[in-house]
Structures are given as structure tokens and as C-alpha cells.
Amino acid sequence: MPGIASAWIVGNGIIFWRSWKADSRLPVPGQLIAANAVFVILALLAEADRLRFLATALAWGFDIAALLNVLPQIATGQTNTGPNPVTSTTQARGTRTAGGRG
């Protein structure tokens, strides 16, 4: 279990570092809950002697994926809500100036 515990610490460090670097804020609780849930499941999987290596390799694999930013956007706390309708229609029509030309 020390391999999974160290991967868990490194994984949480990556989450905190990435969040602080991007916005100078702590990560949202959902990020931490999702990441810790993955490591808890892997720790339970590692309780079986035959699956310990696989669980440890997966834990470090998730850390490498987080470091290389190949995880889905929901895991990194970003959401894709699409374009802002007011901004996109304003850009499509153009902005009007005082002279009436846009």
C-alpha cells in the first residue's frame, strides 16, 4: 500500500499546484472528492495480493495523466458551457457606433 499512498499524495499535490498556478486559488471540493475516490477504489483493489501491482501502476498512471493534462475537463474543474449567446450574437451582427455604421 505505500505505492498507492505516495501516488495519492503526489496526485493531490498535482491538483493543488495546477489549481494554484492557473487561478491562485485552492481546488474546488469536487476535484478533490473525485480524485480521492479514484485512489480509495485503487487502495481497495490493492488489498488483493494478486492485484496490488496493477492498482499501484494505475494510481501512478493517473498521476502521470494529470501531470500531462490528458484527463477529461471535468476532472480538472473546467466546464465547457459553450459560447455566451449575447457575445456571439453581438459579434455576428457587429457593434453599432454613434454614426449608425457597424
What value does the mean pLDDT take over residues 10-37?
90
pLDDT at 99 over 90: no
Q: C-alpha grid cell for residue 71?
A: 484527463
pLDDT attached to residue 45: 94
Residue at grid coordinates 476535484: 31
Contact 48, 36 (CB under 8 A): no
Whether the pLDDT of residue 39 is over 70: the answer is yes
Domain residue ranges in the chain: 2-78
Q: What is the pLDDT of residues 44-84, one digit of tens each?
A: 999 999 999 999 999 999 999 888 876 555 555 555 555 55
pLDDT given for residue 20 in this prediction:
87
CA 11 to centroid of chain Cα atoms: 11
